[in-house]
Amino acid sequence: MNNNMAIPSESAQARGLVSQVLFNFTRWLEAFGEVSYDHQSFFAGPIGGGAKALYYRNKWLGLPAVAPMIFFEAVLPGARRMFHEPMRFPIADAHYAMGYAFLHETTGERRPLERAIHFLEQLKMSRCAGFAEYCWGYPFDWVTRNGVMPKQTPFITSTPYVYEAFLQVHQLEPREEWRQVLASIARHATQDIKDFPVTKTSSSCSYSPRADDRGGVINAAAYRAFLLTSAAKVLHDEALWTIAERNLRFVLEHQNADGSWFYAVDGVRDFVDHFHTCFVMKALAKINTIRGDSATREALRKGVGYLLKNLLADDGLPKPFSRAPRLTVYQRELYDCAECINLCLLLRGRFPELRQTLQVVVSGILSDWVKADGSFRSRKLHLGWDNVPMHRWGQSQMFRALAFYLLEEAREAAPSGSGGQRLAPPLANPTPVT
């Protein structure tokens, strides 16, 4: 991509440029396929996973074991192929479904909706086996400081994305089978995910259904609070809000005085990073839209102030951490940029100061992160770039974010009374970006 290319000031030109990028990406995706490597590929197999587990058991014994993978991640990211095979990721499929649904809303074309439905069908097949209700996790054994999460363990940080994907497409073309999936997901979130009372009005929740999961992760509670708040409205079941409200209060009560949230309240994982902050705030933004809670609005105000002051670099683009847990091998992540765009789109109407951040980040992506084949760079390393396309780690999130951007910009530009009309021209064969 031309490093001198910036997003035009005129809204129509901006939408045209984003439309061009999205079209090229859809061509790339259909040619590349729907499986990919992942940022966890280094540690998803027996060699990397064993080394990481040793590191968590004994830092000094494990450090030499994980050092080669860390070196490859920092200098030779293409070495992922030596450690694990490409995988299909439910989170990515959910984001692709939502992105294509946004394109259908924007252009009125049937093809994007068909692609969205395709990804929903894939999600129905990739649900976690062994659970009565619909739920999703990772397709690999995830080694954490608290032990190994076997593949197909459902996570409350994964399942809500699939819920959103089914809900979004269901609202465009209602089907009873999709409504039943939504209801099943809500049952999973209430029956398989556990509550842990913290105060008289708040509860943490488990990350997974595992018996040894004791909760305490902030974004897990935020995800569940959003899912059940939405489901209470969609399914007309106010009992779901009763559960959601306790998780919401947990998130609000554990916001730091400066507006930030630690990753967890265990006294160990007290880092503050960009995309987890966005996860929490996106959930609060959606809950606030549904319920109109003043305490949630105030938490968002403080969170916006913290993000603008502490989680943006001098150039206005996202930086990974304001409080890092360890040495990082990269300067910037596509994932952070995608989540920043999503958050700005959700909140710019309530906090206009985010409009400038939105345009800066979109401009930065279009200027430096779009590859000649239509995909996106994954990370800016300290030396060079990580150009390995990873569906779960940035590609799908950025596709969804830019499709959401295109729709929201078209809505803002549309004349009043144009509801139901096509908001933008169909994605057509543009001049390739070089």
153, 128 contact by CB (below 8 A): yes
Identify the band that residue 425 occupies on the pLDDT scale cut at 50, 70 and 90. Answer: low
371, 1 contact by CB (below 8 A): yes
- For residues 114 and 97, what is the distance between their CA atoms, to the nearest angstrom? 9
Residue 65 lies in a domain: yes
List Cβ neighbours of 229 (8 Å cut-off, separation of 6 or more): 240, 241, 244, 248, 286, 287, 290, 291
Residue 52 lies in a domain: yes
Q: Name the amino acid, one letter, at 39.
A: H
Residue 51 lies in a domain: yes
| Three-state secondary structure call for residue 268 | coil
What mean pLDDT do residues 271-282 have?
97
- Tokens 């908001």 map to which residue? 423
**What pLDDT, on the 0 to 100 scale, is given for residue 31?**
97
Q: What is the pLDDT of residues 125-142, one digit of tens each?
A: 999 999 999 999 999 999
219, 284 contact by CB (below 8 A): no
**What pLDDT, on the 0 to 100 scale, is given for residue 422?**
60
Residue 71 lies in a domain: yes
Residue 77 lies in a domain: yes
Residue scoring higher pLDDT (12 or 410): 410
Mean confidence (pLDDT) of the chain? 92
Residue 72 lies in a domain: yes
**What pLDDT, on the 0 to 100 scale, is given for residue 136?**
98
Q: What is the pLDDT of residues 363-417, one digit of tens each?
A: 999 999 999 999 999 999 999 999 999 999 999 999 999 999 999 999 988 766 5
- Domain count for the chain, please give it: 1
Per-residue DSSP letter, 216: -
**What pLDDT, on the 0 to 100 scale, is given for residue 137?**
97
**What pLDDT, on the 0 to 100 scale, is given for residue 142?**
94
Taking the CB of residue 210, how many other CB atoms lie within 10 A of it? 15
For the ranges 2-16, 123-137, 170-184, the lowest mean pLDDT is seen at: 2-16
| Three-state secondary structure call for residue 303 | helix
Identify the band that residue 423 occupies on the pLDDT scale cut at 50, 70 and 90. Answer: low
Residue 118 lies in a domain: no
- For residues 255 and 264, what is the distance between their CA atoms, to the nearest angstrom? 11
- For residues 228 and 163, what is the distance between their CA atoms, to the nearest angstrom? 10
39, 390 contact by CB (below 8 A): yes
The percent of residues in the chain predicted with pLDDT above 90, rounded, is 86
3-state helix/strand/coil string of 76-124: CHHHHHHCCCCECCHHHHHHHHHHHHHHHHHHCCHHHHHHHHHHHHHHH
For residue 26, pLDDT beyond 60? yes
Residue 57 lies in a domain: yes
**What pLDDT, on the 0 to 100 scale, is given for residue 421?**
54
Q: What is the pLDDT of residues 348-357, one digit of tens each?
A: 999 999 999 9
The residue range of the domain holding 66 is 43-84
Q: What is the pTM of this model?
A: 0.93
**What pLDDT, on the 0 to 100 scale, is given for residue 1?**
45
Burial class (CB in 10 A: 0-12, 13-18, 19+), 332: buried
**What pLDDT, on the 0 to 100 scale, is given for residue 96?**
98
